Structure 1
Amino acid sequence: MNVHNISKENSVLNTFISEIRNINIQKDSMRFRRNIERIGEILGYEMSKSLNYSISKIETPLGNCNIELLDNNIVLCSILRAGVPLHNGLLNYFDTAENAFISAYRHHKHDPESFEIIVEYLACPNLEGKTLILADPMLATGQSMLATFEALKPFGVPKEVHLISVIGAQEGVDFLESNFDSETHLWIAAIDDKLNDKGYIIPGLGDAGDLAFGEKLQQ
C-alpha cells in the first residue's frame, strides 16, 4: 500500500488539524465539521495529482485552449456518521462523483475493551472499473475500513482504490498495509503513535462523530 502522510510537509493543513484536536476549539461543533471538511478538500487536492487526465478543448470568449481534465469515474464512499463532513469536503472537489454511504460501528458484546465491527446500512452504485474513494476520518485499528471495503465487493471490482483519513494510529496504518493490495493508496492528514486499551487513537481528538453531531445513546 502507498501511504501519503500529508503532515510530513508543513502547510495550512496544520492549522485545521490543531483546531480539531484542541479541547476548547473542538467544542464548537460547526467549526469542527467545517475543519474536517477543509481537511477533506486538502486531501482530495493532493490525491487528485495521482489520478488520470486527458486533454480537452475549451472554448473561451476569445478563442480555444487545451486543458487536461480528470478522466476517472469516481465513486466516493463514506462511513456514517462521522464521515459526512469529510465526504462533503471531498465532494466539493470531485463534484461529479457518484456517491455511496455505509454504516459501520463498534459493537461491544461484554468486554468494553473488545469489539466487533457491525456493517448495516449500505447504498452504493456499480463499482466495476471505477475509482473508489473510501473515506473515514478516524483510522484507529483499521478494522472499520477493511469491513467496509469487504462489504462493497458485491458491487464490482474498482480499477483503483484510495483510502482517505484525517487522523490515524500507526497500528491502523500497519493493519491496512497488511490487508489491502499494494496498489492501494492511503491519503492521511496525520499519523499518531498508538492506541489506548479501548482502541482509541492517542493523542487523537476524541470521538469525531460526537464532536460533529452530538453524543449518541449507547445500546
Structure 2
Amino acid sequence: MQVFNLEEKNSILNKFIAEVRDVKMQSDKMRFRRNIERIGEILGYELSKTLIYKETSVISPLGVSKISLLDEELVICSILRAGLPLHNGLLNYFDNAENSFISAYRHHSSKTEFEIKVEYLASPSLEGKTLILADPMLATGLSFINVFNALKAMGTPKNIHLVSVIGSKQGIETLQKELPDHVKLWIATVDNDLDEHGYIVPGLGDAGDLCFGTKLQH
C-alpha cells in the first residue's frame, strides 16, 4: 500500500486539522462537519492528480478550447456514520461519481476488546471502476480491512484509494500488511499512538459523535 501523508508539506489544511482537534471548537457541530468536508475536498484534489484524463474540446462563445478531463468511473464509498461529511467533501469535487454506503462499528466484548461488525451495504457494481473508500479515523485499521473484504462481493475495482483524516502509525502498518500493494492511502495527518481502548492519541475523539451527537452503545 502506498501512503500519501499531506501533513508532510505545510498548507491551509493545517488550519482545518487544528480546528477539528480543538476541544473548544468541537462543540460547534456544524463547523466540525464543515471542516471534515473541507479536508475531504483537499484530499480529493490531491488524489485527483493521479487519475486518468482524456483531452476534450470545449466550445466557448469565442472559440474551441482543448482541456483534459477526468476519464474514470468513480465510486465513493463512505463508512457510516462518521464518513458522511468526508464523503460530501469528496463528492463536491467528484460530482459525477457513483455512491456506496457501508456500516462498520465496534462491538465490544470488554472495555478494551472489540470486533468490527459490518451489517449494511448499498453499492453499485465496482467491477473495473475506481473505488474511493472514505473513513475519517484510521485507528487500528480493522474497519478499513473488514469493509474492503465486504466490498469484494460488489466486483473487482480497477484502482482503490483510501481517504482518511487522522490515522495512527499502528493502523497504517496493519493496512500495509493486509491490503494489496496497489492500494493508495490519502491521509491528512498521522499520530503516533493508540490508547488501551484502540483510540488515536492525541486524535480528536469520536468523529461520529462530534458530527452527529452521542449514540447508545451496543
1:26 to partner: Cα distance: 1.2
2:134 is matched with 135
2:196 is matched with 197
1:95 to partner: Cα distance: 0.2
DSSP-derived class of the 2:30 partner: helix
1:153 is matched with 152
Name the amino acid aligned to 1:71.
D
After TM superposition, list the pairs within 5 Å mapping 1:1-219 onto structure 2: 1-109=1-109, 111-219=110-218
DSSP-derived class of the 1:26 partner: coil
Counterparts of 1:27 and 1:15, CA distance in 2: 17
Deviations 1:125-158 (A, max 9, x none): 0000000000000000000001001000011000
Counterparts of 1:159 and 1:204, CA distance in 2: 32
DSSP-derived class of the 1:127 partner: coil
Counterparts of 2:182 and 2:197, CA distance in 1: 31
DSSP-derived class of the 1:32 partner: helix
Name the amino acid aligned to 1:173.
I
DSSP-derived class of the 2:127 partner: coil
Deviations 1:71-101 (A, max 9, x none): 1100000000000000000000000000000
Name the amino acid aligned to 2:2.
N
The list of structure 1 runs, each at least 4 consecutive aligned residues, that deviate by more than 3 angstroms after superposition, is none
Name the amino acid aligned to 1:100.
S
Counterparts of 2:199 and 2:39, CA distance in 1: 20
Counterparts of 1:52 and 1:44, CA distance in 2: 14
Name the amino acid aligned to 1:70.
L
Counterparts of 2:20 and 2:131, CA distance in 1: 26
DSSP-derived class of the 1:134 partner: strand
DSSP-derived class of the 2:198 partner: coil
Counterparts of 1:61 and 1:120, CA distance in 2: 52
Counterparts of 2:26 and 2:11, CA distance in 1: 20
Give unmatched runs, 5+ long, in structure 1: none
Deviations 1:28-55 (A, max 9, x none): 1000000000000000000000000010
Name the amino acid aligned to 2:44.
G
1:27 to partner: Cα distance: 1.2
Name the amino acid aligned to 1:40.
G
Counterparts of 2:47 and 2:62, CA distance in 1: 33
Counterparts of 2:149 and 2:180, CA distance in 1: 13
1:195 to partner: Cα distance: 0.3
1:218 to partner: Cα distance: 1.1
